[in-house]
Amino acid sequence: MLQTESPKRINDEKLNSFLRFVIRDKDRHALWLNTLSLLEHIGSRKILLTQSNDDTSEMILRHATEEARHALFFKKAARNIKADFKSGYHTNELLKGNSAKIYFAKLDSLVRSNLKKSELDPFKFTYLAYLYTTTVIEKRAMIVYENYNQLLESQNIEINLQNLILEEEGHLDEMSAEITKLDPHWEARLEILMEKENKIFERFLNQLNLIVA
């Protein structure tokens, strides 16, 4: 497992304030679950778009499949909260959906810009971009999901993220092994990326908290 620290937790109270507000209303809660579904779906789609080649490994296929399954899990959970919930990813079916998309896109761009400085060959560049983007996003997801799951349990809401969290931990272990093998500068690079991701996530969280205000 990579030994670099987790993303900063300075956002915990702001995150928990948002989550407490969201789960009080079934309509908002369903929209939030569908937004999480969208982010998992974007991740799965990005993996397939960038890693589908003659070197596609079992790890990559498993990761893409599990991300798609997580997207389905959250979409089904939204319908469990609100039986007549629409099943698409239209703006009115998401909470700050554009901000969610911007978060993912900016993080992907951040990783690629950082790696371009290393003048890697095209295959290694694309593969490391996948590994680093996945690692940074899933480190953030672990914080969000753990906070969210604790709140769900405390409110006796019948949605349990524990299996999903364990799968995300497994992804991180696999990413760790690949990154440390391929990038001799992984520790410094990951620290920079996580610091910058924190600012990107802060902006996304600020947008989400506009709903609370």
Q: What pLDDT score does 100 carry?
A: 97
52 belongs to a structural domain:
yes
Domain count, the chain: 1
146 belongs to a structural domain:
yes
1 belongs to a structural domain:
no
Q: How does DSSP classify residue 88?
A: S
User: d(Cα 186, Cα 136) in Å, to the nearest integer?
Assistant: 12
Give the residue among 45, 90, 51 at the shortest CA–CA distance from 67: 45
6 belongs to a structural domain:
no
Task: Please answer whether residues 173 and 161 qualify as being in contact, where contact means their C-beta atoms are separated by less than 8 angstroms.
Answer: no
7 belongs to a structural domain:
no
5 belongs to a structural domain:
no
Q: What pLDDT score does 167 carry?
A: 93
User: d(Cα 172, Cα 194) in Å, to the nearest integer?
Assistant: 14
Query: What is the extent of the structural domain holding 54?
Result: 12-209
Structure tokens at 59: 């790890």
pLDDT tens string, the chain, 213 residues long: the values are: 454 455 555 568 899 999 999 999 999 999 999 999 999 999 999 998 888 778 788 888 999 999 999 999 999 999 999 999 988 999 999 999 999 999 999 999 999 999 999 988 888 999 999 999 999 999 999 999 999 999 999 999 999 999 999 999 999 999 999 999 999 999 999 999 999 999 999 999 999 999 886
Q: What pLDDT score does 54 carry?
A: 80
Q: Is the pTM of this model over 0.95?
A: no
Q: What is the CATH number of the domain that holds 46?
A: 1.20.1260
For 183, list phi and psi in degrees, rounded to 5.
-125, 105
| DSSP character string of 111-175 | HHHHHHTT---HHHHHHHHHHHHHHHHHHHHHHHHHHHHHHHHHTT-S---HHHHHHHHHHHHHH
